[in-house]
Amino acid sequence: MNMWNSEIRQQNGHTANSAGGGNGARNNQQQQQQVKQLGMTSAISLAGPKPEDFQKTEELRKALEPYKVFESEEELNHRMEILAKLNTLVKQWVKDVSIAKNMPEAAAEKLGGKIYTFGSYRLGVHHKGADIDALCVAPRNIERSDYFSSFFELLKKQLEVTECRAVEEAFVPVIKMNFDGIEIDLLFARLSLKEIPDDFDLRDDNLLKNLDPRSVRSLNGCRVTDEILSLVPNIENFRLALRSIKLWAKKHGIYSNSLGYFGGVTWAMLVARTCQLYPNATASTLVHKFFLVFSRWKWPHPVLLKHPDNVNLRFPVWDPRVNASDRYHLMPIITPAYPQQNSTFNVSESTKKVILAEFNRGMATTDEIMLGRATWDKLFEAPSFFYKYRHFIVLLVNSQTADDHLEWCGLVESKVRLLIGNLERNQHISLAHVNPKCFEYKKGSNNNNNSSSSTITVNTVGTNNNNNSNSSTNEEEKVSASGQQSAVSSSPFCSMWFIGLEFERTENLNVDLTESIQNFTEHVIQHGVNIKMLKEGMSIEARHVKRKQLSQYLDGDFLKRERKSMENHNNFNNAILANRKRLSSEMNQQITQKDGAGLGGNSGGGGGGGLLQHHQKRSRVSEMKFRKNNNAAAAANSNSIFSQRLNSTSSSSSNNSVSGNALSSITPGATAAGSAQMSLYKNSTSSLFARNHHRRLTNANYGSNHHHHNRPHHQLQHQHHGAQQKLNNSKAFNNVVNQTTATSNSYAINLTDENDVEELLTTGTCATSTTTITCEYVT
């Protein structure tokens, strides 16, 4: 059937790509060169892959295999059989319910009903043992109440179905079950159609007319997935890159929509946007460019895969011009199907900091990989969470039965982000980092004299209280215990979530979290009462624990592995810093020697002339360095964004040169301070730009007349013989430069974005000349 064909294409694509380069690679490159423009802006690069790119991609594929991200042909067929059984079950159920409502059997036979898939399975990037997101579509005579009554009972009667439970009151109502060993989340949508044919396409916006909001939300998953697949230039490259990014996100603890991180559809949209910006790149290059693009993205500028559809069916859409609440979203990533929604509305200040830190760490790691100094395995190494912080809040969720515990944990998990919000509002807490992994408490591993409290006293001695393991000897913590717990938990079932805390740098800090914790636990319990879920034995408790007390809650061997992971991470970071320091020292030494030789050889002709001749003799573009910003986030970013080499393409008789350095504020969403000064030397016979016009990493604006945060337009000022001409884009600037005779003219460019500064350099084949172009970054 049409909904499962993607899996067959995926398997065939995997076989074809495994063959590597050769004629297949060349044919693939030729086909990609003809790809049409996709996305809000034109591509950054249309360059085709090189042989080493195919080699890196094959290395990436092999690195993924131990993590079981690929399924065998047999496993794929098993999933298709399950979906076929479920589809048959839906058709029979629609027929039986219709007959029970006095519809003639002949008419009921034609009504149809269908199962659609979406999410990772529909995208073709699911891993071994992954669940399937599916949607049951029924005609207008079938009510939602029928779905959660008669169909739910029908599912429980199936021999293959276990752990079947209905969540009717959820924002998107769902039936969860295990069907013959495969977890399935099955949504429901009732269309205002008499019949549902087998070839029905859900992408038609008109089918949303007269639907209730729950059905629209249920349909949104399928519609978004299909739009994503239609908006990427090469599906196979997209799939391999997305598999890599999803595995990386899970290993680094930033894969959870409910806890305020990014969910599966969000990661898919970010990878799709990267594919649009680099349509001819291989999967390995896309992974590297993914970190390049989003480590520098100017949040809260939205990520969009296409211009919003002009559809007016009166459903709410994401639009900060109209909806005041949308203006407070920190990292908006907008779904491409109507009604457009922000898939990251759960992101908080803390989760944003964690995500950005991981983006920059990923950038540093992939830089090393592409330079051949590390392997892809390094990207998928899980960082240490429990040796990164010294203070934790542990949430203990207790229940008496397995079924009760499954429901209770699901509710608590959906509310943890509220506790994060409560903690963030505390002026002394700079970061509340929740670990998305749920840990099961094993009885007998705890110390019976465990103490807990919600009052934390921290005495910092001349250090930033970021709770790093390396600063443990400089910190002294005291916990005011309000009571003794006889055990971690006495319930038959106990699960735990851990939240790492960072405090502001303050001496003799005393933080009372009692109110924040009590408000959270009371809210969760009250919600459980309201939806009639709370049962006897269900409880939730929040405790403060220090790192040295973690052995009461977690396995000792696990903590040893965490410590080893922290040591490996620190060693890798030290190696990167050493390589950069060595490279910087070598570059400075070479530049000093060349400058001295150039000035000495032209001493008779004047210092300025000798320096100019020295610049004309350079055969290689010097490296651009990014300085650290004053704020902490920019400092973290500067660890991953280091010297970028721009290779010259001119011959030895016409050498290129870029000199100077750049001060770049990388902090997303923050106002930049400083300027970037660069001098480019241009020959009268050479073009400043190799491409037709200036490329942008971020989307220009949202809508036709809206600029986020009143962001000013780019203004390019051209100064020639005392006259100034304002230009509204870099293409116009390019034309002026190419038509101007090379003299001692100066061109001043005022840029509003550090990306503009970088792209001005990276798009050019700047040749030697007496013409100087000064680029100044203004805020």
Whether 264 has a binding-site annotation, put simply, is yes
d(CA 543, CA 122): 41
Exposure of 330 in the CB half-sphere (CA atoms within 13 A): 15
Residues 617 and 655 sit within 8 Å (Cβ to Cβ) = yes
CA dihedral 545, 474, 505, 481 (to 10 degrees): 30
Whether 265 has a binding-site annotation, put simply, is yes
The separation between the first and the last C-alpha atoms of the chain, rounded to the nearest angstrom, is 55
Task: Tell me how far CA of residue 215 lies from CA of 172, 238, 340, 492, in angstroms.
Answer: 8, 29, 15, 38
Other C-beta atoms closer than 10 Å to the C-beta of 282 total: 29
d(CA 683, CA 190): 67
Question: What are the residues facing 495 on neighbouring strands?
Answer: 397, 440
Residues 17 and 236 sit within 8 Å (Cβ to Cβ) = yes
Please report which helix (H) or strand (E) contains residue 484, including its range: strand 483-484
Whether 553 has a binding-site annotation, put simply, is no
Instruction: List residues with catalytic annotation.
Output: 120, 131, 133, 185, 246, 255
3-state secondary structure of 499: strand
> Is cis: bond before 51, omega within 30 of 0?
no
Whether 377 has a binding-site annotation, put simply, is no
3-state secondary structure of 231: coil
Whether 689 has a binding-site annotation, put simply, is no
* Strands across the sheet containing 509-512: 475-480, 455-460, 509-512
d(CA 79, CA 6): 12
Question: What are the residues facing 509 on neighbouring strands?
Answer: 458
Whether 133 has a binding-site annotation, put simply, is yes
Number of helical H runs and strand E runs in the chain = 20, 21
Other C-beta atoms closer than 10 Å to the C-beta of 621 total: 23
3-state secondary structure of 752: coil
Residues 467 and 502 sit within 8 Å (Cβ to Cβ) = yes
Whether 132 has a binding-site annotation, put simply, is yes
Question: What are the residues facing 720 on neighbouring strands?
Answer: 723
Whether 131 has a binding-site annotation, put simply, is yes
β-pairing, 429-434 with 455-460?
A: unpaired
> Is cis: bond before 492, omega within 30 of 0?
no
- φ, ψ of residue 351 to 5 degrees: the values are -65, -30
CA dihedral 60, 65, 67, 68 (to 10 degrees): 140
- φ, ψ of residue 339 to 5 degrees: the values are -80, 125
* Strands across the sheet containing 658-662: 658-662, 676-682, 771-777, 746-751, 715-720, 723-727
Whether 601 has a binding-site annotation, put simply, is no
**Which residue matches tokens 């060595």?**
582
d(CA 232, CA 37): 10
d(CA 370, CA 368): 6
Other C-beta atoms closer than 10 Å to the C-beta of 759 total: 20
Q: Which residues are annotated as a binding site?
A: 118-120, 131-133, 185, 246, 255, 264-265
Q: Which residues are annotated as a binding site for Mg(2+)?
A: 131, 133, 185
Q: Which residues are annotated as a binding site for ATP?
A: 118-120, 131-133, 185, 246, 255, 264-265
